Amino acid sequence: MVDVGAKEVTQRVASAEARIRLPRNVVTALRRAGHRTKKGPVFDTAIIAGVMAAKRTHELIPFCHPLPIERCTVEIEPAPGGLRIVCTVAVHHRTGVEMEALTGAAAAALTVYDMCKALSHDIEIASVRLLAKSGGRRDFRRTTGRPAARK
């Protein structure tokens, strides 16, 4: 693990998003059923999974520091062709929470897939990316809503 002992304790916040592409029949079925499947409430379950994953990132990703997370939110909203999930994590610490936000968004997306796969396997987790981070050596804010161009 990286030595963060000499770093200053600051409030650090990071937000990440995951985008999910859903076939039209899945979108229609979810709307009709109040965002439920046979497994239960899709959005509520995905939100819980995202928060749990963010809190346990250090157990999943080697060399991540265990952090006393102060706040974690997971929001799910309709997006063209599917869903947009945003996970925001905050902590007062010597290291940032980008990995926690990314892990939370990814786990929420995977949970949506799991809960909807009986409706279709043609579900795609299209992207997981950092939207913003603050409080560390350098801040970051994505300036465009579009994915970065591939090189």
Give catalytic status of residue 3 as yes or no.
no
pLDDT digits (tens, 9 = 90+) for 10-32: 899 999 999 999 999 999 999 99
Secondary structure class of 88 (helix, strand, coil): strand
Count of CB atoms situated within 10 Å of the CB of 136? 19
pLDDT at position 31 is: 93
The CA distance from 54 to 32, in Å, is: 30
Q: Domain 24-136 adopts which CATH fold? A: Alpha-Beta Plaits (3.30.70)
pLDDT digits (tens, 9 = 90+) for 74-95: 999 999 999 999 999 999 988 8
pLDDT at position 150 is: 43
Q: What mean pLDDT value characterizes the chain?
A: 91
Residue of 3, 44, 114, 122 marked active site: 114
Pairing of strands 36-37, 140-141: unpaired
Domain boundaries, the chain: 24-136
**pTM of this prediction?**
0.90
Task: Assess whether pLDDT exceeds 80 at residue 151.
Answer: no
